[in-house]
Structure formats: C-alpha cells, structure tokens
Amino acid sequence: MSDADKAVTHELTVQRLAGEMFRAAAWAALGTFVLGVVVSTVIWGTAGLFGSLIGGAIAIASSLGTLLLMRKTAALDPMFVMVAALGGFMAKLIVLLIAVILLRNQSWLEPKALGITLVATVLVTSFLEARASKRSRSQMVVPASEGA
C-alpha cells in the first residue's frame, strides 16, 4: 500500500509535519550555532566560547524538544496535542529561566555570548519551522475519522 493509499489520520499529519519542520530547520540551526560560537570566541575569547556553546546547546535542545513532543503526542486527540504544546512551551521557558539564573554570575562564561547565540538560534529555528509548517502540504487534507 502506497503512502497515498493510506487513510490520512491526525497522527500521520502531525508526524509528517514534524519531519518537514525538522528538515527545514536542522542545517540552519547548526549554522547559526556555529556562527555564534565563532563570533563569540573572536570577540570574548574562551568565556565567549563557553557562553555561546551553552546558549546554542539550549536553543537546539529546545527545538528538538518541540519536534519530539509533536511526535510523541501525535496519536492523541488534537485538544491534548495543543495542551502538550503549551506545556512544552512553559517547560522550555522554565528551563531557560533556570539556566540564566544559575549561569548569570559565572566568571568562566560571557553571558552576552550565551544570550546572543541562544536568541539567534531560537529565532532562526522558529522562523524556519513556522515557514515549513505554513508551506506544508500535509495539513491540506482533512484527516479521516477512525471509523471511516
């Protein structure tokens, strides 16, 4: 049975969308991360290197966490998927707040490098994920119900 012959379910739609979003954002996120590390190291030295490595790692983990959450909740009712998305967003904000609080007065890293790399990577990744979602053809079909 080909992919076109399968009944299009909500789960399949969300799975496809998560894959399209990952493919759209993966290389750009890594490129932004590397650029942040190089620029921060040139400007602030070793402290900039450590700050940008931590900031980029948090940003990439945040993006991967969103896509993993989409995949894990795809089989649930759409209402619960939205609840999980809101919960995931809140969890990311809490993790970011904890990281900033714990790392703000550390002398071995540059907080500006952490913040700039984190924000740049999150913005690039979020923009490309949103663009992939908007352009996705997987959402153009009304999913079939379970009994149909």
Pairwise CA distance, residues 67 & 15, whole Å: 9
Tens digit of pLDDT for each residue in 80-122? 888 888 888 898 889 888 988 898 889 999 999 999 999 999 9
Amino acid letter, residue 53: L
Please give the pLDDT value at position 138.
62
Whole-angstrom CA distances from 23 to 17, 19, 67 are 10, 6, 11
pTM of the model: 0.80
pLDDT at 146 over 70: no
**52, 41 contact by CB (below 8 A):** yes
Question: What is the widest separation between alpha-carbon atoms in the chain?
Answer: 62
